[in-house]
Amino acid sequence: MASRKSTARPKSAKPDATGPARSRGSDRRGNGDELHQSAGGRHPVLTTNQGVPLSDNQNSLRAGERGPSLLEDFILREKITHFDHERIPERIVHARGSGAHGYFELTRSLKKYTRARVLTEVGKRTPVFARFSTVAGGAGSVDTPRDVRGFAVKFYTDEGNWDLVGNNIPVFFIQDAMKFPDVVHSVKMEPDRGFPQAGSAHDTFWDFVSLSPETMHMVMWAMSDRTLPRSLRMMEGFGVHSFRLVDDKGRSTFAKFHWRPKLGIQSTLWDEAMKLQAADNDFHRRDLFEAIQSGNFPEWELAVQLFTEEEAEAFPFDHLDATKLVPEELVPLTVVGRMVLDRWPDNFFAETEQVAFCPSHVVPGIDFSNDPLLQGRLFSYLDTQLSRLGGPNFHQIPINAPRCPFANLQRDGHMQMAVPKGRVNYEPSSLQGDSPRATPGGFASHATPLDDGAKGRVRAGSFADHYSQARQFYRSQSAPEQAHIASALVFELSKVGTAHVREAIVGHLRHVDPALARRVADGLGMTALPPAPPAAVKPQDLPPSPALQIIARMKDTLQGRSVGILIDDGSDAAALKAVRTAVESAGATAVIVAPRLGGARLDGGRQQAADGQLAGTPSTVFDAVAILLSEEAGKRLAREAAAVDFVRDAWGHLKAIATDDGGRLLLKAGGVGKDAGVVDAGDTRAFIKAARTRQWAREPKVRTLA
């Protein structure tokens, strides 16, 4: 692979021309191929709040192309500060979340790379609080929309709090924090109408995407099944950015952090996710709560990718670009520990709502890279907490307070809850024998050489390839997963009322994969493919990465999942016992569903209580179902809409179905046909085997995909 240093910066591309409806005038692209739009005509000059005209609203001020962002950038600070304070007191993004307490246990020391004790002391258990969240919706929205999920962990280490703040996707939409308010504004409810809530299927988001080719890699992930997790317990987490690990001699190694769920990755189908919104707005929160309460504690492995500056220089991409990932085939993962969540919060507001995560919270031995998106987040998160939690003393709220001793000379301020004592609140001083002092063993930034370029609002040429990893992601997927991505794009773009935006997106897709572009164009009824916009860098055909799939990596297990068993009066008691025993032996939860909450009288006369009433417990909330009915009950429920929907949805959502003779009458009413995943209830071994996965071969029988 060629060194990035030997790669010439791409020349500025010609203006994108996707038809007269774009009406860009003197639009131009910059070094990294980001779009610059110029004032003129009806477009006024963009200024700061003080009326200062802006020459560049795409790039923060940096010390050279790949250097750090500069504090003197008053434009970035004003833009981010205003954005951070737009909502009070709800979080602007990640407002709807669920959290839990637990611990992190290190299983492999990284002492060779870092002096951070949380990553060097094998066997030590460090308390943590983890919060999972949707991004776009408000606190009152639902758990299961198509959306990125936040994945944030607060480590209460002996050296202070370390916040590893990430998502369930390893890349992001944008490359520079200057554009963060814009991408969030675009995906939120449209300001003139107040909808849609918690969804990206509308004009403003896709308009932003169409004008920002750097988003295309993240778009592929967002349109995949990754944004439809079956459970918070069954999704991966990523730190997104490259961080630095620094050893006791000041030597640095880059690190990317990954969380891998013990139960494996699981996702729902799009139709299933939409029906889950109606079935249970709190589906993910309830699932996490019930798992912890039952003692089935969620668990993740923490893994790292480690690489040197010299190795990074040889990558065919820039690892400081947050729209890029480091493929596992290029830098394998090393598992170093595990996180177990074993306690639900005592008070949801006091803990889950008031917890404050900041990427700037690191401990000695962990440091930052020059990723321009990370550099902006270091400021943004802290600034947000000042508004949301009442002032600079938010760290004194119990959920945010360090578990180790802490002392400083910061005083007073809104919501001061401590009572600092002593005469001295400054340093240096000589009037108080116990005032806090700095220590040579404390946090020290890595002595990173700065880029020799001039400071300026620039985007590195190494950030200009926007399509290669998007292509790699799509082509790495299995056939069903590719179909889901294409269908998701068709669905989302069908909600976009502006024709030139739809056409522009399909044009970008031609760079990702021509066959994908054709599938989406056909799904939208386009008679011809729109032109592809100019690309600053010709997309590469990177090798497929199996690690990017979901289906092939699903674990062959029912552990941690649930099976619904539909019964009614006259159901076979022996069959119920056999199915229930098999399900629980496989590590899943058996849930009894009946037309009445009081349950049903089985064929032997025993009354069997129900865990859920049929009308309020649809099959969408289960991973597989069993239908155990007498012939009379089968005929009766064949006329009951909720029962017919129960089997029809299980069939349509590709779930395994076990049934007896009475149940087959209901299956017939629901249009359920013969299939490898429909088995006799008496063959519990075959049922458990089928229930461990979706019946992907069935999908073409039940829905039309793009």
More confident: 14 or 26: 26
| Contact indicator for 377, 341 with CB cutoff of 8 Å | no
User: Which residue, chain included where needed, has tokens 């199915």?
Assistant: 579
pLDDT tens, position by position, 580-596: 999 999 999 999 999 99
CA distance 339 to 151: 13
Give me the pLDDT at residue 335, please: 98
- The structure tokens listed for 484 are 């889901």
CA distance 265 to 588: 16
* Neighbour count for residue 370 (Cβ, 10 Å): 21
Query: pLDDT band at 33, cuts 50/70/90?
Result: low
**Residue 196 CA to its chain's centroid (Å):** 20
Query: pLDDT band at 31, cuts 50/70/90?
Result: low
pLDDT tens, position by position, 103-162: 999 999 999 999 999 999 999 999 999 999 999 999 999 999 999 999 999 999 999 999
Give me the active site residues, please: 94, 167
From 460, 209, 213, select the one nearest 319 (Cα to Cα): 460
pLDDT greater than 60 at residue 29 = no
pTM for the predicted model, two decimal places = 0.90
Query: pLDDT band at 564, cuts 50/70/90?
Result: very high
Give me the pLDDT at residue 82, please: 77
The structural domains of the chain, ordered by start, are 80-396 (2.40.180.10), 556-702 (3.40.50.880)
CA distance 182 to 146: 20
Tell me the three state secondary structure of residue 582: helix
From 625, 704, 698, select the one nearest 667 (Cα to Cα): 625
pLDDT tens, position by position, 253-307: 999 999 999 999 999 999 999 999 999 999 999 999 999 999 999 999 999 999 9
Give me the pLDDT at residue 3, please: 42
Q: Terminus-to-terminus CA distance in the chain, angstroms?
A: 36
Query: pLDDT band at 330, cuts 50/70/90?
Result: very high
Backbone angles phi, psi at 684, to 5 degrees: -65, -30
pLDDT greater than 60 at residue 15 = no
User: Which residue, chain included where needed, has tokens 């963009």?
Assistant: 46
pLDDT greater than 90 at residue 18 = no
Beta bridge partner(s), residue 341: 102
CA distance 608 to 490: 46
CA distance 589 to 560: 7
pLDDT tens, position by position, 148-159: 999 999 999 999
User: CA 3, 8, 11 angle in degrees (round to 5)?
Assistant: 145
